[in-house]
Amino acid sequence: MYLSPSSLLSLGALLIASTSALKCSPSSISKPDVLGATILDLQANEAHNYTTVSIGPGSNNGGKYTISFCNVTVTHTHAGWNDTIATQIWLPLHDDWNGRFQGLGGGGYSTGFGPIYLAYAVAQGFASASTDGGVPGDPGAVTTIATDLSWALSSKDNVNWFLLQDYATKATNDMAEIGKQVTESYYNRAPEYSYFSGCSGGGRQGFAMAQQFPDAFDGVLAVAPAINLETFIPAGYWPTQVMNDNQIYPSPCEIDAFVSAAVEACDGLDGVQDGMISLPHLCNVTAFDLVGKHYTCNGTQHSLSPSAAKVVQAAWSGSLSRNPEEAGGYYGINKDAPLSSYYIPTECPARNNSTSTCHTSNGASLFGNWISYLVAKDPSFSLSQISEAEFFSFLTASKTEYASLLAANNPDMSAFKARGGKMITWQGLADEVIPPGGLVEYHKRVLELDSNAGDFFRVFEAPGVNHCFGGPGPVPNDALEQLMEWVEMGVKPDTLRATRGSGGAARDLCPFPMRQRYIGGDPADAMSFECVEV
């Protein structure tokens, strides 16, 4: 039978596609071997021209991507734990793989966001993995899975310690083991380098890996890391406690006006007016200093009130404004961080911004759910009537019960350093969820233990950037690329390249404790700033 050249080419393409599909099948990919775990199932199939909107952890570089890849899902359990964990591994087709593996973190009370991060990583050429931590739910519903803690209780007053252990570290380390083994099986060679990327709760996962499983990854990018989760989460409820104690519920409009007034007062401390507070440690204005300033809401002029100032100052000072040794409190957020989303979540009847008609919204669920589920251990527990003394007793109880399991703040990362690991972490100074003061304090403790820690661990502050991304400040979208340069070529990141803030500025972020100072020229030009200790 004669076959024309074009027919032969078509047949060859079909054979190549068929061979590729055969390699992406349950029979061709070896089941991983994970200590202490039993593999229940492995599914694999090729996905072609998969199109989705995706982002990377701590990046503004999201977009619409069309990718083709081998889609592998491994399900496993731990004997006696009654858990079922699904790990997704997306593998670029052979010609598209960059030779690297990337584990991806989650956020809030989730260990992974599935396709939301995976597609972005695959589009960059990484063999990538994400884990659900054994908690069912739609990874696309980020807000829901990030604040839902119903899984943490087996029943009233009974914590599901096995799932909490999965959430803390176990599932993430399993993901690293499973992901790298599946990658090697599919490509017939191990990844040359392995990286982890995560923001918020995902940043905490990255720190936990470096501290407890130093062999898991060569490089860790941990953005806005929730390293003191058991402390700052319940402490974040403090402004709501102040509202409930005083029956003061400022309108979102007034809350935002306090933030705008604070920015106006402290914006120029770094030498330039750019809509950001770049040196928050020098911003000494209090909410009470701003009382009486005018603001406009829905076309009506108002004045910032003393009652609202009390609530706003609670968010800025944090619960450390009391006796920290007795209260177990935590830092407040910086004064250009949005307040009305998490720390002072209120809502008012339509077009009515009188504080007498406003009330708390469900925005405090990230903080309140922690107290209800993990401290009171009662899903129906109401926080609205607790006393101030009870609130601070909850903070102490949370730290006592969960620090050893969930905190990722051990300053000793000597094992990670010894095996050549590198870590970059950065946080927006206008972070509206996690107070930056915790990361600053942790970095100091690391340097006290190892004065040469900068050889493997560097912290950067991002002025004007919100939680993970957003805000007027420039975001270091190339941080993972700089981490790879450090791991693979020994190029230390003396600064982080940062662009694309909503304010349009480009900056080089400084390694802490150095900070940006304006030296003249166009504020949108990175060369107009220098890194100095201020």
pLDDT digits (tens, 9 = 90+) for 143-188: 677 888 999 999 999 999 999 999 999 999 999 999 999 999 999 9
pLDDT digits (tens, 9 = 90+) for 253-286: 999 999 999 999 999 999 889 899 999 999 999 9
The C-alpha atoms of residue 281 and residue 376 are separated, in whole angstroms, by 35
Query: With bands split at pLDDT 50, 70 and 90, how would you rate the model's confidence at 517?
Result: confident
Those residues with Cβ within 8 angstroms of residue 309's Cβ, 6 or more apart along the chain or in another chain: 258, 286, 287, 288, 290, 291
Q: Which of 50-59, 94-103, 128-137, 508-517 has the lowest mean pLDDT?
A: 50-59
Dihedral of CA atoms 424, 429, 434, 437 in degrees, nearest 10, equals 80
The C-alpha atoms of residue 507 and residue 518 are separated, in whole angstroms, by 11
**Who has greater pLDDT, 252 or 324?**
252
Characterize the bridge pairing of strands 359-360 and 346-347: antiparallel
pLDDT number for residue 58: 76
Q: Is the pLDDT of residue 62 over 80?
A: no
DSSP 380: T
The C-alpha atoms of residue 476 and residue 26 are separated, in whole angstroms, by 39
Q: Are 397 and 373 in contact (CB under 8 A)?
A: no
Structure tokens at 367: 């903080």
CA-closest candidate to residue 427, choices 460, 471, 456, 474:
460
Read off the pLDDT of each residue in 51-67 and give the average, rounded to a whole number: 81
pLDDT digits (tens, 9 = 90+) for 318-371: 997 665 455 568 999 999 999 998 999 998 886 555 556 788 876 568 999 999
The C-alpha atoms of residue 448 and residue 458 are separated, in whole angstroms, by 14
Average pLDDT across the chain, whole number: 90
pLDDT digits (tens, 9 = 90+) for 450-482: 999 999 999 999 999 999 999 999 899 999 999
Read off the pLDDT of each residue in 32-61 and give the average, rounded to a whole number: 90
The C-alpha atoms of residue 419 and residue 414 are separated, in whole angstroms, by 9
Structure tokens at 262: 């604070």
The C-alpha atoms of residue 514 and residue 518 are separated, in whole angstroms, by 13
Catalytic residues: 200, 431, 467
pLDDT digits (tens, 9 = 90+) for 106-118: 999 999 999 999 9
Start-end of H helices in 301-363: 306-317, 324-327
Q: Is the pLDDT of residue 1 over 50?
A: no
Q: What share of the chain has pLDDT > 70, as a percent?
A: 90
Amino acid sitting at position 329: G
Structure tokens at 128: 């990538």
Query: With bands split at pLDDT 50, 70 and 90, how would you rate the model's confidence at 53?
Result: confident
Query: With bands split at pLDDT 50, 70 and 90, how would you rate the model's confidence at 7?
Result: very low
Q: Is the pLDDT of residue 316 over 70?
A: yes
pLDDT number for residue 52: 84
Q: Is the pLDDT of residue 384 over 70?
A: yes
| Residue 19 burial by Cβ neighbours in a 10 Å radius (0-12, 13-18, 19+) | exposed
The C-alpha atoms of residue 188 and residue 318 are separated, in whole angstroms, by 53
Q: Which residue has the tokens 């069309």?
A: 66
Q: Are 220 and 196 in contact (CB under 8 A)?
A: yes
The C-alpha atoms of residue 3 and residue 31 are separated, in whole angstroms, by 41
Q: Is the pLDDT of residue 5 over 70?
A: no
Query: With bands split at pLDDT 50, 70 and 90, how would you rate the model's confidence at 534?
Result: confident
Q: Give all strands (DSSP E) within 269-419, no chain letters.
A: 294-297, 300-303, 346-347, 359-360
The C-alpha atoms of residue 70 and residue 127 are separated, in whole angstroms, by 9
Query: With bands split at pLDDT 50, 70 and 90, how would you rate the model's confidence at 10?
Result: very low
Global model pTM greater than 0.95: no
pLDDT number for residue 124: 95
